[in-house]
Amino acid sequence: MKAIRHMALAAATGALALAGTMATAGTAQAAYDPTSHSIWDDEPLYAGWHVDSYTTRLIMQADGDLVIYQDFNTASPKVPFRSGTTNCGYKTVMQSDGNLVVYSASGGVCWALGTDGHPHAKLVVNDSGAVGVTWGSGRLPRANTGDPYSRFLSSDLY
């Protein structure tokens, strides 16, 4: 009798665990799409993490700088943009409010693109070498934050 109770308890525990797993399976959605080369909704890029297209790579470097490399898979890649956050940046986040932000390890802002106010916007690295933020069916204009890198980003976002 005692053995039957233990078996019943074990079966009930297993069924409960299985039901919990099945109920929550598939509810988490990664905010990274390798086919469209995009991130969104608070997806982070930690040191060494990158989003690539065929020729272009956006990478959060180990030194804390967010950098775009064009022709990254060649002997002489071009660097059209860097955030200038060396020794400050810990991670980059494409926030759910639409802003791309480089954060320090303590949570302070090292650099921000200034595209907040566009919920669920995506950062896209496309095969033509452009890196931009999209929302809905169109690209977002670059916010006027006085950032010295805005010429590259603004020309790339239209």
Interval 57-110: pLDDT, tens: 999 999 999 999 988 889 999 988 899 999 999 999 999 998 899 999 999 999
pTM above 0.95, yes or no: no
pLDDT of residue 155: 30
- Which of 2.90.10.10, 2.60.120.10, 2.30.30.790, 2.30.40.10 would CATH assign to domain 32-156? 2.90.10.10
* Cβ-contact 127, 54 below 8 angstroms: yes
The residues spanned by each domain of the chain are 32-156
When pLDDT is cut at 50, 70 and 90, the band that residue 141 belongs to is: low
Closest CA to 65 of 47, 52, 42: 47
pLDDT of residue 61: 97
Give the strand order in the sheet containing 91-94: 43-46, 91-94, 100-103, 109-112
DSSP structure string for 73-90: TSSS-EEEEE---TTT-S
- Of residues 107 and 114, more confidently modeled: 107
Query: Which tens digits make up the pLDDT trace of 9-60?
Result: 445 444 444 444 333 333 344 588 888 888 999 999 999 999 998 888 999 9
What is the C-alpha separation between 109 and 94, in angstroms, rounded?
Answer: 13
The mean pLDDT of 128-152, rounded to a whole number, is 59
What is the C-alpha separation between 158 and 78, in angstroms, rounded?
Answer: 21
The DSSP H or E segment spanning 23 is helix 2-24
pLDDT of residue 84: 94
